[in-house]
Amino acid sequence: MRRWIFIIVIALGAWQYWSTREVSREPGVLADGAPMQSEEAGGPTPLVKAGYRIIPLQAFALEARVLGAEHYRFDRGSEIAPVDLVLGWGPMSDSRVLASIDISQSNRFYFWRAQAFPIPRREIEIHSANMHMIPANGDIEHALKQVRTGHVVRLSGYLVEVDADDGWHWRSSLSREDTGNGACELVWVEDLQVI
């Protein structure tokens, strides 16, 4: 019996590693365009998910390399945004640049550090972001949960703010140039392609 438990634990560990392993990419910029957003929200208002009111602020689309993917299950935001993606575009989608930068995620934040800057610090800051993903439906949620570091994604939807009846509030940044607390994007994802 112990042997079977051991085999099952090993198999589960191997599956977990295999299903979350990083996708290897050759050097070169993989996503050269900047995220696009409109000045007018447009779209339906309000959206509703799991009892939360979701108000579109601006239409949003981007193609970017996934620098990190973190799944959340137990914080307040996980009811509507179960996945955070750290995304990079322009120089932050290039394997040569990324080889010199350590990237991590924790508690809905994205952290990076570099012994020596492969590109100027400001370029790192304005060409990458942590984004909280709110899937518009079950198919998008399933696809988001399959995204791995190294994938390139194309997505579109809205930058949003979220309100709950008990006063809880979560609002997206509308700038790609801010940093620190409050700088993350909160994205209602209506379309997702993984490349």
Stretch 96-123: mean pLDDT: 96
CATH number at residue 166: 2.40.50.140
- Global pTM value: 0.87
pLDDT in tens, 1-43: 776 564 554 544 444 444 456 777 788 999 999 999 987 655 6
Residue 4 maps to a domain: no
For residue 107 the two structure tokens come to 């508690």
pLDDT score for 13: 43
Residue 152 DSSP label: E
Q: Which own/partner contact pairs does 18-26 have at CB distance under 8 Å and 24+ positions apart? A: 19/148, 20/69, 20/148, 21/148, 22/148, 22/149, 22/150, 23/148, 23/149, 23/150, 23/151, 24/150, 25/65, 25/95, 25/150, 26/95
Number of domains in the chain: 1
pLDDT score for 158: 95
What whole-number distance in Å separates Cα of residue 39 and Cα of residue 58? 6
pLDDT in tens, 116-147: 999 999 999 999 999 999 999 999 999 999 99
pLDDT score for 159: 96
pLDDT score for 17: 46
Residue 15 maps to a domain: no
pLDDT score for 45: 74
Helix (H, G, I), strand (E, B) or coil at 68: strand
Residue 71 maps to a domain: yes
Chain mean pLDDT for the chain: 89
